[in-house]
Amino acid sequence: MSRFIKKKKEDIGLSPYAIVFRGQKKTDKTEITVMDFDLTDVREFKVKTADQLQQFKNSKSLSWLNVDSLHDVESMQEIAEIFEIPDNILSDILNPSLRPKVQEFDKGIFATIKMLQYNETENLLSAENLSLIIVDNVLISFQEQPGIVFDPIRERIRKHKNKIRTSGSDYLAFTLLDVVVDNYIYIIGLIGDRIETLEIHMTNNPNKNLLEDINFFKGEMNFMRKNIKPAKEMILTLAKMESEMIHADNKVHYKELQDNINETTELSDSYRDILYDQITMYHTMMSTKLNDIMRTLTVYSVIFIPLTFIVGIYGTNFDNLPELHWKNGYFIMWGVMIVVVLGMLWFFKRKKWF
């Protein structure tokens, strides 16, 4: 399926609020993991059924519930019922191709964003949807499949008795979004290194393979921008949102997140411009190379025109041409031809034609 459009035929005509999984099943089983913590203790475990999450609804400790794989609609409905997530929000969670957005509802805030992953072996970008539900003392994250991208956050919670344990679910949501945006910058850096390497190869040996590489990376940057641009809009809206779910002390962090995503879009735009400049440079260099070839061929053609003329005259079959009977006529002809060639080369060199 196209990376830019992920609309399935069977979804056409469905109500936008239908509780139907609209994505691609990537794992066999939906897994729910919990990190429940306060300043003194951290508890981690997996729950087998969504009913077990009821205990965290009114807990005084901070809870991070992570759901991997979204295809189990029944479990998703149970989670939505426990935390009073409206059907329209649940429908959006079950649609991984949803454009990044943020929406406030009665009990909390819903935000969704695309996480980018770069396979250095296959040299290919892919995107995964991340949805967040921010409610009192609870953050619920929904991912399409298990991953390690948030492991640094888990380690911070385990090892450090600091702000992340005490600043609420809105700050925890900020840390996850910050990891997503930092990953954008990291991936842009990886691709950017390869884009800059293309320019070195272009100077040394421009060829057809180089143009294919430029077009490939142009496609990757367009795919990246397709996901980063809406993410910027979402983060900007989130940073400006006046909601009880986002505490005043944490607003400054969302402002910092806004600065980071601005830097990300500027970097992606810069490398996109570099690629277009490289395409222009490639065509210019190939045109120059072709002109050099044509100039060289023209010089050789011009040199051989008088030589052909001399040989043609020398080869005429008439007895009344006295030079035909000269003892050294052959060598004189060669001498004249060499003088003509050297004279023309000197003239072309003086005119800087080659």
Token pair, residue 264, equals: 């990300």
28-76 pLDDT tens trace: 888 999 999 888 888 988 988 878 888 888 788 899 999 998 888 898 9
Model confidence band, residue 15 (pLDDT cutoffs 50, 70, 90):
low
Res 33: pLDDT: 92
Q: Which fold has domain 297-350?
A: Methane Monooxygenase Hydroxylase; Chain G, domain 1 (1.20.58)
Backbone angles phi, psi at 315, to 5 degrees: -90, 5
Model confidence band, residue 161 (pLDDT cutoffs 50, 70, 90):
confident
Q: Tell me the percentage of the chain whose pLDDT exceeds 70.
A: 90
More confident residue, 112 or 125: 112
Mean pLDDT for 113-119 is: 90
- Does the structural domain 9-284 have CATH classification 3.30.460.20? yes
Say yes or no: do domains 9-284 and 297-350 share a fold: no
Average pLDDT over all residues of the chain: 84
More confident residue, 131 or 320: 131
Cα distance between residue 229 and residue 318, in whole Å: 84
Model confidence band, residue 202 (pLDDT cutoffs 50, 70, 90):
confident
Res 321: pLDDT: 59
Domain ranges in the chain are 9-284, 297-350
Res 322: pLDDT: 59
Q: What is the pTM of this model?
A: 0.80
Mean pLDDT for 267-292 is: 85
Asked if 78 and 5 touch (Cβ cutoff 8 Å), the reply is: no
In the numeric block, the tokens 């003194």 are attached to 40
Per DSSP, the residues of 287-347 read HHHHHHHHHHHHHHHHHHHHHHHHHHHHT---TT-GGGG-TTHHHHHHHHHHHHHHHHHHH
Res 325: pLDDT: 65
Q: Is the pLDDT of residue 188 over 70?
A: yes
The per-residue b/e assignment along 209-219, b for 16 or more CB within 10 angstroms, e otherwise, is ebbebbeebbe
Cα distance between residue 101 and residue 112, in whole Å: 6
Asked if 219 and 191 touch (Cβ cutoff 8 Å), the reply is: no
Res 292: pLDDT: 77
Model confidence band, residue 287 (pLDDT cutoffs 50, 70, 90):
confident
Among residues 79, 59, 55, the alpha carbon closest in space to that of 69 is found at 79
- Ranked by mean pLDDT, which of 109-118, 191-200, 280-289, 298-307 comes out on top? 109-118
Backbone angles phi, psi at 36, to 5 degrees: -115, 125
Count of C-beta atoms within a 10 Å radius of residue 251: 16
Res 26: pLDDT: 82
Q: Hey, which residues does 138 pair with through a beta bridge? A: 63, 135
- Ranked by mean pLDDT, which of 47-56, 268-277, 305-314, 320-329 comes out on top? 268-277
More confident residue, 190 or 289: 190
Res 309: pLDDT: 75
The amino acid that residue 29 corresponds to is K
Cα distance between residue 111 and residue 132, in whole Å: 5
Q: Is the pLDDT of residue 354 over 80?
A: no
Q: Is the pLDDT of residue 310 over 60?
A: yes
